[in-house]
Chain A
């Protein structure tokens, strides 16, 4: 109770002082406002980049393993990977027979061809040859239509599934389903359109792809293409264990002796997430350092003005001490005042930053994280307390007679 009424008295004094020196308070608060706006906008921008990444990365599926000749994140000389033996489509069959921790396996081979429908052309479309297991193994979602069946897959029928961008480009006005498009000059009937993925990986997502049965792909485009095998980790199975199992099977298929290192890689979304996390951590570190500096400068402004305030009110401090204010009470009074100025600055800063974040949302989907709001308020409080401390301490140590005698 005692403590609370002291804080309340501190608040009353603080607001009276702020009101009495409006212009000064506004100018002082400005430093904090600018600091808080820049820090929160920085956080919002990073949140936006994070979200964009998460959305993009989710296209790869968090439970899908990709067995490939090249790693997504290369640690060694590119030539080392280049010289590895190519991946073979047959591995997929062997893996799906032997592996117990994955429940869907699909090979795919990729090439780049132009696709056409009537007079409309999409240049350099990624053509993926795969099996009917692909949808399960990679976790893609169909917007409209159906994936090709086992018969269509095994028989190499001329059917295809197209990505959202392909559909938009080739069929701006009509329904693509059951239309026949030309892929690299060969006719394919459209069975389905995939759901749009979007995201920052652009052309590499399924949006720009056309999926055809693998046997048809081999016939039309050859088989010595970059082959990869997607495998979905079974529900309940551990990703790392599944990875180990696949590795064992692959080493056997590749006839590697125990001393030889892997000549393939098992990639997963996690690798991208890690790399990305490291990059954003650096950006965030630098960003917060720079924006933090402006907050620091704001804090110095507060300290300066609190010193002025203490000096101006020396007499008042003397009066308060003469009638029984303790050191702690005076200390708290000025701390509360500094903290209030900063907190108000923080609130105004947030009030400015929030609409700005809505504008930023138009450019890159983001939102001011609630944690940032809380942290911003906490930080402004902290800046107030820290920068108010020295002046407040000075005030609390004043001798009552000396303070009363001050003119």
Chain B
């Protein structure tokens, strides 16, 4: 199996200047390498910098310093259009709060990345329906987000994240707003996606969620505390 490095972070720092002498060091030198078809969970206490890290990986945010290579390309050298293209084609992002367009139905929400990718209308509809079928929402295509349950909304979000066949799937606490049963359903979905060859990075607070992953990165105070591989029998080996 192809084992190429998808994400390569070196000494990534993120500093928020709060005005005056005050500043927040959200990330204080994070170095991580993530390979193709890995399933990684990022854990850590609240405020430790998990979301900040995910946003940087997802090209939604830019680091204050450090090197970020995505599929071998230096992200800090990309212009706005190239970043938009990476977000559109290479990265599928699932948010804790779903972040669906409230006034659009499920189908249109899932179609959106395809619109920005320039896919023709007919093809778009077909792919979006396929993605919704894939997450088990084939019978809910014309429901608006407020006509769906939390778990269903998150499935729409997952379908949207996957519809453009990205290189990696990023999920920042995808089950954070769901009860444990619906959370489990989403996790089963992720498991399937991983089996199909997707690379997944997931932020969570819950140990039982993290257990689905094959590698757990623990973050504390903006630094990587531990980075462990978990084998299928749940024995822990240090990388």
Per the 8 Å Cβ criterion, residues 30-56 of B in contact with A are: 55
Contact: A319 with B84, CB < 8 Å?
no
Given known A1-B118, A2-B118, A322-B87, contact A404–B60 (CB-CB < 8 A)? yes
CB pairs A–B below 8 angstroms (6 shown)? A321-B60, A323-B160, A324-B84, A324-B87, A324-B116, A325-B84
A113 CB-CB contact with B under 8 Å: no
A329 CB-CB contact with B under 8 Å: yes
Q: Which of B89, B103, B120 contacts A324 (CB 8 A)?
A: B89
B188 CB-CB contact with A under 8 Å: no
Contact: A323 with B118, CB < 8 Å?
no
- Complex Cα distance, B121 from A6, in Å, reads 11
Per the 8 Å Cβ criterion, residues 83-105 of B in contact with A are: 84-85, 87-89, 93, 95, 99-101, 103-104
Q: Which of A5, A318, A320 contacts B118 (CB 8 A)?
A: A5
Set of chain B residues within 8 Å of A9, measured between Cβ atoms: 115
Per the 8 Å Cβ criterion, residues 1-25 of A in contact with B are: 1-2, 5-6, 9, 16, 20
B174 CB-CB contact with A under 8 Å: no
B117 CB-CB contact with A under 8 Å: yes
Contact: B112 with A326, CB < 8 Å?
no
Interface size on B, residues (CB 8 A): 28
Nearest CB to that of B104 among chain A residues? A16
Contact: B61 with A400, CB < 8 Å?
yes
Contact: B101 with A319, CB < 8 Å?
yes
Contact: A321 with B115, CB < 8 Å?
no
- Total cross-chain contacts (CB, 8 A): 68
Distance of A390 from chain B, by nearest CB (Å): 19
Q: A5-B121, A319-B101, A323-B112 are in contact. List 10 more A-B contacts (CB 8 A).
A: A1-B118, A5-B120, A319-B100, A320-B116, A322-B60, A322-B93, A323-B113, A324-B116, A326-B85, A404-B60
A254 CB-CB contact with B under 8 Å: no
Nearest 9 pairs of A and B residues by beta carbon = A324-B88, A2-B118, A324-B116, A326-B84, A400-B60, A401-B61, A323-B113, A324-B87, A401-B60
Contact: B116 with A322, CB < 8 Å?
no
B80 CB-CB contact with A under 8 Å: yes
Per the 8 Å Cβ criterion, residues 381-407 of A in contact with B are: 399-401, 404
B237 CB-CB contact with A under 8 Å: no
B58 CB-CB contact with A under 8 Å: yes
Q: Which of B99, B104, B164 contacts A404 (CB 8 A)?
A: B99
- Complex Cα distance, B100 from A325, in Å, reads 14
Nearest CB to that of B163 among chain A residues? A323
- Complex Cα distance, B142 from A168, in Å, reads 75
B81 CB-CB contact with A under 8 Å: yes
A327 CB-CB contact with B under 8 Å: yes
- Complex Cα distance, B55 from A6, in Å, reads 26
Give the one of B85, B88, B93, B115 with max A CB within 10 A: B115
Contact: A326 with B60, CB < 8 Å?
no
- Complex Cα distance, B99 from A401, in Å, reads 12
Distance of A223 from chain B, by nearest CB (Å): 87
Set of chain B residues within 8 Å of A329, measured between Cβ atoms: 116
Set of chain B residues within 8 Å of A321, measured between Cβ atoms: 60, 84, 87
- Complex Cα distance, B85 from A329, in Å, reads 12
Interface string of B67-87 (1 = CB under 8 A from A): 000000000000011001101
A316 CB-CB contact with B under 8 Å: yes
- Complex Cα distance, B152 from A115, in Å, reads 97
Nearest CB to that of A6 among chain B residues? B115
Contact: B113 with A324, CB < 8 Å?
yes
Contact: B55 with A401, CB < 8 Å?
yes
Contact: B160 with A326, CB < 8 Å?
no
Nearest CB to that of B59 among chain A residues? A400
Set of chain B residues within 8 Å of A326, measured between Cβ atoms: 80-81, 84-85, 116
Distance of A160 from chain B, by nearest CB (Å): 79
Q: Which of B61, B112, B121 contacts A320 (CB 8 A)?
A: B112
Set of chain B residues within 8 Å of A404, measured between Cβ atoms: 60, 95, 99
Given known A1-B118, A5-B121, A401-B61, contact A323–B103 (CB-CB < 8 A)? no
Contact: A322 with B99, CB < 8 Å?
yes
- Complex Cα distance, B101 from A401, in Å, reads 16
Contact: A323 with B55, CB < 8 Å?
no
- Complex Cα distance, B121 from A321, in Å, reads 20
Nearest CB to that of A327 among chain B residues? B80
Contact: B80 with A324, CB < 8 Å?
no
Give the one of A16, A319, A404 with max B CB within 10 A: A319
Distance of B139 from chain A, by nearest CB (Å): 24
Contact: B81 with A327, CB < 8 Å?
yes
Interface string of A112-141 (1 = CB under 8 A from B): 000000000000000000000000000000
Contact: A325 with B60, CB < 8 Å?
no
Distance of B104 from chain A, by nearest CB (Å): 8
- Complex Cα distance, B93 from A399, in Å, reads 16
Set of chain A residues within 8 Å of B115, measured between Cβ atoms: 5-6, 9
- Complex Cα distance, B85 from A328, in Å, reads 12
- Complex Cα distance, B121 from A16, in Å, reads 19
Distance of A77 from chain B, by nearest CB (Å): 72
- Complex Cα distance, B89 from A256, in Å, reads 91
Set of chain A residues within 8 Å of B99, measured between Cβ atoms: 315, 318-319, 322, 404
- Complex Cα distance, B121 from A1, in Å, reads 10
Nearest CB to that of B90 among chain A residues? A324
- Complex Cα distance, B84 from A327, in Å, reads 8
Distance of B176 from chain A, by nearest CB (Å): 15
Nearest CB to that of B92 among chain A residues? A323
Set of chain B residues within 8 Å of A5, measured between Cβ atoms: 115, 118, 120-121
Set of chain B residues within 8 Å of A319, measured between Cβ atoms: 99-101
Per the 8 Å Cβ criterion, residues 258-311 of A in contact with B are: none
Nearest CB to that of A330 among chain B residues? B84
Give the one of A5, A20, A322 with max B CB within 10 A: A322
